[in-house]
Each structure stands twice: as structure tokens, then as C-alpha cells.
Amino acid sequence: MASSTGHPSQVPVIDISGTLPELEVGRALVDAAATYGFVYIKNEGKDIPVEAIDRMFELSKQFFSSPVEEKEKCRITETNRGWGGMQTETLDVKNQRVGDFKEAMNIGGFVDGKAQQPLPASLVDHEAEIDQFQKYCHELVLKVLTLFGLGLEIDPLAGGSSWFATRHRDGANPSILRLLYYPHLSRSDYQPGIDIRAGAHSDYGSLTLLFQRPGQPGLEIRPPGSDGWTPIPVQPPTTEHDPSPPILVNTGDLLASWTDNLLRSTVHRVVFPVEDVADRYSIAYFAHPVGTTVLEAVPSAKVREKAKEKEAEGESVQEREARRAMTADEYLFSRLKATYLGLYGNGKTEGKAVTA
Ligand SMILES: O=C(O)CCC(=O)C(=O)O
Ligand SMILES: [Fe+2]
């Protein structure tokens, strides 16, 4: 397994709060997603209140420190909702010898303010806050997708900048809010090269938002074209004094495929930092388009250019047309079936990273 390069991350920090011209911001976001697949969104609490983020982390702590019998009552099912315990998930099944050192709680969308899954005692009285937090995340995803639409200069006659956002806005979708807890491991127990908090993987959906806490590092990315790992600091330069660390946004496999790989879906993992003394808590929001969305060609000259490259690289017209005839639900299911057979009937129980 390649080790960290230690090179400082070049992933840019972008302010989308409205102080800069939108088109410039959209282009900068597209650039970052095309180069790194990751971008930091400067966070001064304008899109999501800082208190709401802090509060979700408090609830997350409450949940993970609750008795295991409570968590067992909402163990993850094939709906991809619920709790998974330590080392029950293996994100990099091919290379990992042991499961991920983490616990995770997946919370799906609410209907009329109500969770559509059993919630544990520690969360059940907080439905309104969780629902509101999901709404904030959803709105931020729509905002970023609109800026992508601007940056990609989507044909105004075909829907313009709102092209992606409208395909995420109304209707059932499998988006998931995921609370993550990575307990620390004492140095004497740590097996270098074997133990890992989250194995190498890329995310399946369109966009992922990731919230991190100061002093709890560990995320690394393998930027396109590189075979080394780059640490992604929680508070990159210029953000150290912001009221909350920037929100990381990364492009998932579905959006990469949809844009003919113009926007990249970058492999990432979570490691035990060298000086690991802290537990790590993070919160991810995995956004997916409305399930019935057809993944038709994106009406953008920039994407069309990329499609030509793909053709030159050998993708047949039939393959491309098959890709474009799929719905978002079909795409997700095909990925899950190929990678995580355990959930779909072969009796294995590991590797349930269906949101990742
Ligand atoms: O916890 C993190 O920082 C990353 C989690 C992640 O990549 C995932 O759950 O897909
Ligand atoms: Fe991920």
C-alpha cells in the first residue's frame, strides 16, 4: 500500500457565500473538481449555521457513547439505514486484512419530519434537529450543483445552471446523512500497514459533504494521476480562524460518469495519524439525484469535449448509450451489486459501504 507523500494538499478553499462573482466561483469549483475531485467550502456559518454543525456532532457523540444494546436495536439493514459497529465494514475489500476501525450510523431522508427507520433512544427526541440538518445539507448540495452548472456553462435552453439541481430537488432519492466515529487506538496496539480507519474507496453518489472537527485529522486522497496519498488537513491555511472548519465537498462516481469524467471521483481513505491521540468524529452527507433521473448527456460543451476523449480512449457508442439510458437508481444498484454482493443475497455480511 502506498504511504502518504506528506506533500501539502493543493485542494483549494472556495468562498461560495456570495462575496465573489458567481460565474468565477462556479468555474473555480469545476476546476477543483476536475483536478482533485475535492474542494473545501469556506465555512463562516452562512450556508449552515455553525451551531447546527456543532449540535450534530454533540448528538453524534451522545449516540456513539450510548450502550451497545441501544445501537443494536437499529443495526443496518439492506435499506442502508442504521448502525454498523467496529470493523463490520471493509471499504477496500481487495486490500484490507481487517475491517475499518469505525462505527457508522446512516440516517436516510425524513418524511413530514419523521425518520423512516428506527432511531435509537439517544436520537429519537432530536428528530426535528436531524431533519433540519439534512435540509441544510440538501440546500448546500443544490447550491454547489447550481454553481457547477454555471461553471460548466450548461446550455440555457436546456435548463442552464439549474440543470443538475432540478434533478436532485424533488422526489425520492437515497441520500444519506452518516455519523462516523473512529475511536483512537493506542500505539502499542496499532499494526502499521494493516490497521486503517476507512479503507481506500470512492463515493458512489453525486456529491458528498464532509464535516470534520479541529484536531481530528486522518483523511487522505489519491489525486488523479498520482499513486501517493495526500493528507487533507481539517483546517487548511487561511481557514484556521474561521468559526468552523471548511466543509469538504467531493464528487462521487455517479457525477463523474455523468460528466464523462470531467469532474473526478477521487479515491480517499482515513488513516490513524502518526500522533494519534484523539478519537475522530466526522459527518458525511451523501447526495444522490432523484432515483428516476435518466443520466442523459450533460448539455455542456466542456462535457462534450470530454466525451470525445472517452471515445478516443475506446468507449464504444453502445457502451456510452447504455450508460446514458440508465436511471440514477439503476446506476446505484448496479454499483452495489457489483461491489457489495453481501447485501444482495450471497450470504456475506461485510462490505456494506453502500453510501460510499
Ligand atoms: O470520515 C471521513 O473523513 C471520510 C468518510 C468517508 O469517506 C465515507 O464514509 O465515505
Ligand atoms: Fe468516502
Instruction: Give me the pLDDT at residue 238, please.
Output: 96
Residues flanking ion ligand 2, Cβ below 5 Å: 203, 356
ipTM over 0.95: yes
pLDDT by position in tens, the chain (length 356): 445 555 678 999 999 999 999 999 999 999 999 999 999 999 999 999 999 999 999 999 999 999 999 999 999 988 889 999 999 888 898 898 889 999 999 999 999 999 999 999 999 999 999 999 999 999 999 999 999 999 999 999 999 999 999 999 988 999 999 999 999 888 788 888 899 999 999 999 999 999 999 999 999 999 999 989 999 999 999 999 999 999 999 999 999 999 999 999 999 999 998 776 789 999 999 999 999 999 999 999 999 999 888 888 888 889 999 999 999 999 998 887 766 555 554 433 333 344 44
**Positive or negative: CA dihedral 70, 49, 111, 288:** negative
How far is the C-alpha of 280 from the C-alpha of 217, rounded, in Å? 7
Q: Report CA(177)–ligand 1 centroid distance (Å).
A: 11
State the closest ligand 1 atom to the C-alpha of 208, by its place in the atom list counted from 1.
Answer: 10
Helix/strand/coil percent split, the chain, to 5: 35, 20, 50
The residue to which cell 498520482 is assigned:
226
What is the number of the ligand closest to the CA of 100?
A: 1
Closest CA to 303 of 284, 283, 328, 320: 320
Instruction: Give me the pLDDT at residue 277, please.
Output: 72
Instruction: Give me the pLDDT at residue 216, please.
Output: 95
Query: pTM of the full predicted structure?
Result: 0.94
Q: Is the CB of 354 under 6 A from ligand 1?
A: no
Instruction: Give me the pLDDT at residue 291, please.
Output: 96
Closest CA to 233 of 259, 263, 212: 212
Instruction: Give me the pLDDT at residue 336, please.
Output: 76
How far is the C-alpha of 58 from the C-alpha of 123, rounded, in Å? 11
State the closest ligand 1 atom to the C-alpha of 104, by its place in the atom list counted from 1.
Answer: 9
CB neighbours of 249 closer than 8 A, spacing ≥ 6? 38, 39, 40, 41, 144, 207, 208, 209, 210
Question: Domains of the chain: which residue ranges?
Answer: 13-343
Cell numbers at 342, concatenated: 453481501
Fill in the DSSP letter of residue 75: B
Would you tell me how many other CB atoms lie within 10 Å of the CB of residue 237? 9
One-letter amino acid at 217 equals: P
Is residue 13 helix, strand or coil?
A: strand
How far is the C-alpha of 84 from the C-alpha of 62, rounded, in Å? 16
Phi-psi region of 207 (alpha: psi -120 to 50; beta: other; left: phi over 0): beta
State the closest ligand 1 atom to the C-alpha of 280, by its place in the atom list counted from 1.
Answer: 1
Between helix 127-151 and helix 22-35 the angle, nearest 10°, is 90
CATH code of domain 13-343: 2.60.120.330
Instruction: Give me the pLDDT at residue 144, please.
Output: 98
